[in-house]
């Protein structure tokens, strides 16, 4: 890279990706907290969000957003979906025209039902928006365990800038033009991970989880294709890859929330006990709203949305799913998309 890489947001995923990148390119990370910024820079630790993980000694952190963006050739936005717009508004005047601004968040904005790349395009119109996604549990990436991700942008050179900055001996980075498909996959898998956790919390085993994941993948594909996504995206890293990681790992925040809900705990109590965001909680409602606006059925995601909204219980939602009429497994639109895609 000719310039530096800026990472906006020092939660677990932002810190992990920034630490990895700093081993290859000049990287600055913005933290809202000056204490966290100082700890990252001087102690090479982020004890709040990545306890026990040694960070790259080359990573510079700052609580000054202008400093983090100074000279940046690409910007990664690692802020949860519900706070991204506010941070982007502060960053926008500091971002040069044509700069790739890539979202690391996997959510839908509440109220507008916009994907994160759409929020970027709206708030930072001079930027080239995109998304980075895939099966990337933050702690494993920060520890240098082998992993892979995909950078999606309609502008191929912009995706390649980020690809070259992040591709390493421990991270394979692929590019894709399918921004819509990648974002719908990332948002949907978080909601499905809550469903998988609820199933476990209710005491059900692997058969139930496999059924939820597989039928959830069909829901993901239905909505993604209806919005213009590419069928093969849902069988790749952004789709089935991320779905497997999030629905099966005990490190998954969304699955942790779901398990606690299935055990009968109160959602507010669960959220208050966590200091990291589970995107699926806030994304479930907007995702279902988006599906309805496109005439797409997503019964598993609808059940999760009703549970987090307090409109039903996990057990009632499960009974409702099991009572749905029998049908063919393949959706015609998914098959057509696979044949013509």
Catalytic residues: 189
Cβ-based neighbours of 98, under 8 Å, separated by 6 or more: 126, 127, 128
The dihedral over CA atoms of 20, 23, 28, 33, expressed in degrees to the nearest 10, equals: 50
Distance CA 265, CA 257 (A): 9
Distance CA 7, CA 40 (A): 13
The whole-angstrom distance between residue 325's C-alpha and the CA centroid of its chain comes to 32
Structure tokens of 214? 């597989």
The whole-angstrom distance between residue 267's C-alpha and the CA centroid of its chain comes to 21
Distance CA 296, CA 313 (A): 23
Q: Which residue has the tokens 């506010």?
A: 86
State the CB neighbour count (10 A cutoff) for residue 146: 10
């Amino acid at each position: 890279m000719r310039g530096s890489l800026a990472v906006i947001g020092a939660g677990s995923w932002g810190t992990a990706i920034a630490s990895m990148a700093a081993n290859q390119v000049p990287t600055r990370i913005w933290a809202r907290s000056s204490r966290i910024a100082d700890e990252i820079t001087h102690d090479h630790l982020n004890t709040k969000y990545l306890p026990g993980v040694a960070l790259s000694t080359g990573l510079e952190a700052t609580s000054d957003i202008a400093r983090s963006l100074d000279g940046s050739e690409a910007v990664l936005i690692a802020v949860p979906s519900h706070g991204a717009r506010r941070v982007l508004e502060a960053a926008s005047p500091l971002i040069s025209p044509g700069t790739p601004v890539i979202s690391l968040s996997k959510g839908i904005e509440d109220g507008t039902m916009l994907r994160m790349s759409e929020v970027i395009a709206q708030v930072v119109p001079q930027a080239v928006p995109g998304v980075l996604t895939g099966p990337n549990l933050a702690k494993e990436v920060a520890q240098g365990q082998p992993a892979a991700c995909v950078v999606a942008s309609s502008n191929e050179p912009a995706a390649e800038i980020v690809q070259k900055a992040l591709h390493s001996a421990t991270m394979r980075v692929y590019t894709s033009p399918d921004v819509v498909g990648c974002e719908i996959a990332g948002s949907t898998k978080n909601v499905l991970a809550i469903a998988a956790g609820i199933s476990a919390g209710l005491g059900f085993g692997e058969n139930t989880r496999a059924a939820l994941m597989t039928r959830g993948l069909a829901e993901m594909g239905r909505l993604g294709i209806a919005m213009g996504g590419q069928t093969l995206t849902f069988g790749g890293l952004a789709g089935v890859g991320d779905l497997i990681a999030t629905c099966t790992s005990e490190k998954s925040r969304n699955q942790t929330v779901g398990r606690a809900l299935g055990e009968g705990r109160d959602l507010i109590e669960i959220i208050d006990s966590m200091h990291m965001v589970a995107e699926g909680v806030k994304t479930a409602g907007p995702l279902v709203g988006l599906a309805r606006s496109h005439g797409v059925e997503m019964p598993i995601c609808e059940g999760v949305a009703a549970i987090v909204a307090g409109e039903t219980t996990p057990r009632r939602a499960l009974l409702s799913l099991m009572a749905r009429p029998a049908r063919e497994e393949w959706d015609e639109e998914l098959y057509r998309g696979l044949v013509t895609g």
